[in-house]
Amino acid sequence: MEEAEIDQLPMDLLAHIFMFITCFKDLAQTSSVCKKWREGVKQSIGRKEKLSFAGWKMDDDSTSRLVRYAYALKDLDISKSRWGCQITDNGLYQLSTAKCIVNLSSISLWGMTGITDKGVIQLISRANSLQHLNIGGTFITDESVFAIANSCPHLKSVVLWGCRHVTENGLVVLVNKCPKLMTINVWGMRVPFDFFLTLLTIRPALQIVPQSILNMGTIPLLPVF
């Protein structure tokens, strides 16, 4: 029986074509066609530098399985949305074992209310190349912030939007131990306004978002990243 024209394509080209598929459901269906296509999907994911699960119905196992394939990954977004990712501490544990984690420059855990300090600390402890972190809208405490400060020396920006269990102690340690930190989003935190002036004495060039928080002006309703 003559082979279909698409199956005559070399694996490298087949994987390149599959990189244009952005829907994870379509990727799953594609990988089930045959062994060659399954391998092509795996290789296409392996070449991706950015994966965003925001808006997709994903769980711990499905998310970690795809991330393990993505050996070239630099940017990981598992933000929660109305229909989106439902990651728990178990998922963060699984993600922490992926080889790409040590090379990630950006992670977004925005709105992931199912995670705690335990999962965050496990993940962050291996994300030593991290430059941008969005962990706003979660219930983390100073324990996670201490882990970020100790594990992410290259951190340039962090979103702590609405992290009401993070205190002044956590912020001081973060600013002191992350010498490259340039921007910090502190909207909605339970921290006295005058304390942010203390952070500026430690790091005068630090940009505190929203900037209006320093003069009690109008504060935007959405997080800035």
pLDDT, one tens digit per residue, over 115-131 is: 999 999 999 999 999 99
- Where helices occur in the chain by DSSP H, the ranges are 11-18, 24-31, 35-47, 60-69, 89-96, 117-124, 142-151, 168-177, 195-202
- Evaluate if pTM is beyond 0.75: yes
User: Which tens digits make up the pLDDT trace of 19-77?
Assistant: 887 776 777 778 777 888 888 888 888 899 999 887 777 889 988 988 999 999 999 99
Which residues constitute the domain of residue 39? 1-47
Question: Based on the domain organization, do 112 and 23 belong to the same domain?
Answer: no
Examine residue 84 and state whether it is found in any structural domain, yes or no: yes
| In a shared domain, residues 115 and 181 | yes
127 assigned to some structural domain: yes
Q: Is residue 222 part of a domain?
A: no
Domain assignment of residue 219, yes or no: no
Contact 111, 85 (CB under 8 A): no
**Pair 36, 119 in one domain:** no
